[in-house]
A = this chain, B = another copy of it.
Amino acid sequence: MSTMARGAVLRAFNEPLTLEAAPVPEPEPGALVASVDLGGVCGTDVHLFHGNLPIPTPVILGHEAVGRVEKLGPGVTADFNGEPLREGDAIAWASNIPCGRCYWCVVEKERTLCENRKVYGINQRFDEGPRLSGGWAEFIYLQPGSAVFKLPAGISPEQAIALGCAGPTAVHGVLEIVGIGVGETVVVQGSGPVGLAAAMYAQLAGAARTIIVGGPASRLDLARSIGVGDVHIDIFATPDPEERRRQVLAATPRGRGADVVLECAGVPSAVPEGFELVRRNGRYLVLGQYTDRGATPINPHVITRKQLKVYGSWAFAEAHYARYVDTLPQLAARFDLGRLVTRYPLEEANRALADMASGSVMKAVLAP
């Protein structure tokens, strides 16, 4: 094991990340050290970079990553699923460690809401503790309590990282909270990684028709080319929401509207627009409003009259990550996941971040 490892450190908001080195610690009991194969760049990283969320600095960013076991701490012999774990095994891990003891973990059983949770690449400082606690680095220290998973047979690191945290986020929102039934018509608002992951899971769950409303055209083309979505509506080509509504309704059975609409756009105005796309007694998932972008006019009468069910879904926890890893073979069998990825060396973390911000790539991935 190398004695020193480099990582891309955010020292101050809006200032370029710098590559810095720290010693690779010996793992304590229950912990392990992993070498990082690939670290994903997420839309949230762009917000973190700009200081839009309250995080400590300095910090090595990177809450999405896959790698290999470098060294197992005392007592670590198996992964979360009980599969034997050995040095060199390809692994992925949930980015967060809930406390498992608070009201949210124990009574509400919503570990995503745990107020004490540790999140790699977000709230673990670079200047204390094991330091190497973000995925944009050569090595990462996985603390006791981390949910670590061996990659399923036949799944490459690139396939595992392709959806990034959008994968488990969609598991939580789409499969667990809103649910999709066989034969349903699903609208997805948004065609970034969350939108694509949501559409993929809707399709795996047996949706009869998946209608993606997003853009730009390059993203819709990519989605179409790998079989994600049945109908694709480009918001740039069709800027009028009323016209989009006509097109979406025309693609739903009897023009009734979709059984389910999955908001993965992150723009507040997507929500009232989406309420017009769902049929009466239908379901609406607010999945994309992770960042606070303010209020928008919404008519609550629509919720009553159409008798909607509107669900929020916040992030994900180990359970969703476990299900994401479990279903990777199903995703990979149906969709060419690797097509989503654009690779960058660790040295080009800032460029990767910029490309993600501009939407010029679907999924930037750092290869340390």
Q: Is A314 part of the contact surface with B, judged by Cβ < 8 Å? A: yes
- Given known A290-B304, A305-B314, contact A330–B183 (CB-CB < 8 A): yes
Q: Is A46 part of the contact surface with B, judged by Cβ < 8 Å? A: no
Q: How many copies does the complex hold?
A: 4
The answer, among B105, B111, B311, B329, for a CB contact under 8 Å with A309, is: B311
Given A183-B327, A303-B312, A308-B310, 10 extra CB contacts under 8 A: A80-B103, A103-B254, A103-B256, A106-B319, A183-B323, A206-B327, A271-B300, A290-B304, A304-B314, A309-B309
Closest to A254 in B: B82
Chain B positions within 8 Å of A281 at CB level:
104, 108, 110, 113
The answer, among B179, B201, B206, B311, for a CB contact under 8 Å with A204, is: B206
Q: Could you jot down 23 A-B contacts, CB within 8 Å?
A: A81-B103, A103-B254, A103-B256, A104-B280, A104-B281, A108-B280, A108-B281, A109-B319, A112-B307, A183-B323, A204-B206, A205-B205, A206-B327, A268-B299, A286-B300, A286-B304, A287-B304, A294-B301, A295-B297, A298-B300, A305-B314, A307-B313, A308-B312
Chain B positions within 8 Å of A306 at CB level:
312, 314
- CB pair B309 A301 closer than 8 Å: no
Separation of A263 and B300 alpha carbons in the complex (Å): 11
Q: Is A291 part of the contact surface with B, judged by Cβ < 8 Å? A: yes
Chain B positions within 8 Å of A100 at CB level:
100-101, 105-106
Closest to A146 in B: B101
Q: Is A1 part of the contact surface with B, judged by Cβ < 8 Å? A: no
Chain B positions within 8 Å of A287 at CB level:
304
- CB pair A147 B106 closer than 8 Å: yes
Q: Is A56 part of the contact surface with B, judged by Cβ < 8 Å? A: no
Closest 8 CB pairs of A and B: A100-B100, A295-B297, A303-B312, A310-B310, A289-B304, A183-B327, A298-B298, A295-B299
- CB pair A303 B319 closer than 8 Å: no
Q: Is A175 part of the contact surface with B, judged by Cβ < 8 Å? A: yes
Q: Is A153 part of the contact surface with B, judged by Cβ < 8 Å? A: no
Count chain B CB atoms within 10 A of each CB in A113, A175, A254, A305 and give the residue with the most: A305
The answer, among B81, B103, B295, for a CB contact under 8 Å with A272, is: B295
Chain B positions within 8 Å of A280 at CB level:
104, 108, 110, 113
Count chain B CB atoms within 10 A of each CB in A81, A208, A286, A302 and give the residue with the most: A286
- CB pair B286 A327 closer than 8 Å: no
Separation of A310 and B297 alpha carbons in the complex (Å): 17
The answer, among B107, B268, B286, B297, for a CB contact under 8 Å with A319, is: B107
- CB pair A299 B308 closer than 8 Å: no
Contact digits for A319-363, partner B, Cβ 8 Å, 1 yes 0 no = 100110011011000000000000000000000000000000000
Q: Is A182 part of the contact surface with B, judged by Cβ < 8 Å? A: yes
Q: Is A138 part of the contact surface with B, judged by Cβ < 8 Å? A: no
Q: Is A181 part of the contact surface with B, judged by Cβ < 8 Å? A: yes
Separation of A8 and B127 alpha carbons in the complex (Å): 52
Chain B positions within 8 Å of A227 at CB level:
none
Chain B positions within 8 Å of A300 at CB level:
263, 268, 271, 286, 289, 296, 298
